[in-house]
Amino acid sequence: MGGRGRLIAPAAELALAVEVGSLQRAVAHHFADRPGSMLDVGCGYGRPSGLLANHVVGVDPDAAAIEANTCVDEKVVGTLDAVDLKSETYDIVVAWNVLEHLERPIDDLRRMAKSVVRGGILVLAFPNVDSVRGRITRYTPTWFHRVVIRKALRGRGAEPYKTFMDDALDVDSVVAMLEGTGFTTLHLSQYEGYHELRLRELHPVVGIAWQRLTRLLSTLSRGRLDYRSDVMGAFVRT
């Protein structure tokens, strides 16, 4: 389900940190020095990716969130349309749990990609639309996402944003689009998401039942439904 509310769960956070750490190391090994500029799209209250640059431009429609964000140097309140995305401007462009909230994610992703300099990196984190959770998220309303995050997962923080989960965001299509526009894949991982881990911590019986169900559905559908609900990737513009 969409949203950027904080879920306090040490074991789940540790598992997520392992995934993020792998991405961070791949990006760090790519650059000889700290990158000069970064665009953080949908930066919210902070920078969950932990990536660094000398100058960070953050854009987010939530004025309160971006005002509280101490990780960005330049703050733009608004959607991606509020940013003048000139070609080859940023060393790193980050869209962290943002694409699923966009009505035209591929169009916006193309704009982000064009703003990456040659040798720069585009970093993405987004739900797997072909996962069991991804399908449920797409066909359920925002109020349902709010109930799950607040009640079942005991999340705190910002309310979930409206989630579109466009079919065009399937992993293979995103990778193919980027590779077709001059990017190579530096790092890509699909993994069981934070929400699933959190559910098993708080409600072991329900969480294990959900885990077994998603794996069964993945097997029966021959992979068309995936139990791996989240994706992280880093792509280099060549």
For each of the domains in the chain, give its residue range(s) and CATH number, in order of start.
Answer: 10-237 (3.40.50.150)
First to last CA, the chain: 34
Instruction: Please state the pTM of the whole predicted model.
Output: 0.91
Interior/surface letters 182-203, b for 16+ CB within 10 angstroms, e for the rest: ebeebbbbbbbbbbbbbbbbee
Question: Do 82 and 76 form a contact (C-beta atoms < 8 A)?
Answer: yes
What is the predicted pLDDT for the residue at 4? Answer: 47
Q: What is the pLDDT of residues 60-115, one digit of tens each?
A: 999 999 999 999 999 999 988 888 889 999 999 999 999 999 999 999 999 999 99
**What local confidence, expressed as pLDDT, does residue 87 receive?**
94
Predicted local distance difference test score (pLDDT) of residue 209: 97
pLDDT of 2 reads 47
pLDDT score at 77:
94
Return the pLDDT at 125.
96
- Regions of the chain with pLDDT less than 70: 1-10, 156-159
